[in-house]
């Protein structure tokens, strides 16, 4: 079921400053920021040879990233994302194994324009986990 690691997401209060570190200090290819109001975030993708890093900044006080940054003011690892071939089958398998899908259980369109779901961190070794259909 599980495919390759699609990205590691890092929450930050300032994607411009974080992007600068990746671009200038590490020499990485960094995308332009994109606002995703339906998810309450501004995202930037850092392209690496084997995966991506997703930088997340909150879009207002209702963003899930706002709450994360209140608990972790310096930012930090927010979630990991794995690719799956069939998101509904993957979700059903996870639920059958005892994992909880967050939200209403229906896939939403993520930053890559593909269906995504999030799995509760308590059911995934303490890590918020996103699955993305590819």
The whole-number average pLDDT for the span 99-104 is: 97
In the chain, where the domains are located: 2-133
What pLDDT is stored for residue 1 in this prediction?
85
User: Could you tell me if 56 and 36 are in contact, meaning their C-beta atoms sit under 8 angstroms apart?
Assistant: no
What pLDDT is stored for residue 49 in this prediction?
95
Tokens of 21: 């570190």
What is the CATH topology of the domain spanning 2-133? 2,3-Dihydroxybiphenyl 1,2-Dioxygenase; domain 1 (3.10.180)
Catalytic residues: 130
Q: How many CA atoms lie within 13 A of 62 on its CB side?
A: 5
For 60-82, write each residue's pLDDT tens digit: 999 999 999 999 999 999 999 99
Global pTM value: 0.94
């Amino acid at each position: 079921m599980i495919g390759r690691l699609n990205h590691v997401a890092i929450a930050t209060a300032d994607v411009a400053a974080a992007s600068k570190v990746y671009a200038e200090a590490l020499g990485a290819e960094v995308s332009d920021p994109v606002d995703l109001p339906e998810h309450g975030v501004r995202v930037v993708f850092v392209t690496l040879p084997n995966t991506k890093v997703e930088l997340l900044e909150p879009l207002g006080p209702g963003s899930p990233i706002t709450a994360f940054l209140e608990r972790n003011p310096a930012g930090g690892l927010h979630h990991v994302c794995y690719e799956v071939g069939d998101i509904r089958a993957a979700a059903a398998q996870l639920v059958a194994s005892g994992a909880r899908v967050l939200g209403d259980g229906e896939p939403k369109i993520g930053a890559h324009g593909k269906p995504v779901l999030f799995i509760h961190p308590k059911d995934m070794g303490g890590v918020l986990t996103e699955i993305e259909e590819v």
